[in-house]
């Protein structure tokens, strides 16, 4: 369990913020447009804002040095860790899951949460591989 703890500390708060953002963004997108495809993409974008907002905050605040160079370094590590996964996730997997699962389940909020979890599994597999390949250390 001690090997998993740093991963939990790093990702769970971002996932909570991302989930809340996805629900709010997708619901707002659907209420405004009544278009499931728009709502799926808007929910996906909203989730990215919540999740990466936290990841960026974490990256900045866990460093002793601050300033523009730290911001650039933080962006570099976030791109190395999530870049490939994020491309697949943002443009294909997550919008598809946020579109399909509310329709399949018949309850919008539950469908968004289930779609988000399914998309997260597809997201974290390549992200974990990228962490190992790029030797990104997770230590909280």
Residue 128 falls within a domain, yes or no? yes
Compute mean pLDDT per 10 residues along the chain, 140 residues long, and list them: 77 93 96 96 95 86 73 80 87 95 96 95 85 62
Report how many domains make up the chain. Answer: 1
The reported pTM is 0.78
Is the CB of residue 49 less than 8 Å from the CB of residue 26? no
Residue 57 falls within a domain, yes or no? yes
Which range of residues forms the domain containing residue 88?
5-133
Residue 13 falls within a domain, yes or no? yes
Residue 139 falls within a domain, yes or no? no
Residue 77 falls within a domain, yes or no? yes
């Amino acid at each position: 369990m001690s090997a998993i703890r740093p991963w939990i500390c790093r990702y769970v708060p971002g996932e909570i913020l991302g989930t809340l953002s996805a629900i709010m963004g997708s619901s707002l997108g659907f209420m405004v447009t009544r278009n499931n495809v728009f709502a799926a993409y808007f929910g996906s974008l909203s989730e990215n804002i919540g999740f990466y907002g936290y990841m960026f905050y974490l990256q900045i605040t866990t460093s002793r040095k601050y300033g523009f160079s730290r911001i650039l370094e933080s962006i570099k590590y976030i791109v190395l860790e999530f870049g490939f996964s994020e491309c697949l996730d943002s443009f294909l997997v997550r919008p598809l899951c946020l579109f399909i699962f509310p329709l399949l389940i018949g309850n919008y909020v539950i469908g968004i949460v289930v779609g988000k979890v399914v998309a997260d599994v597809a997201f974290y597999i390549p992200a974990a591989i990228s962490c190992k390949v790029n030797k990104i250390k997770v230590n909280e």
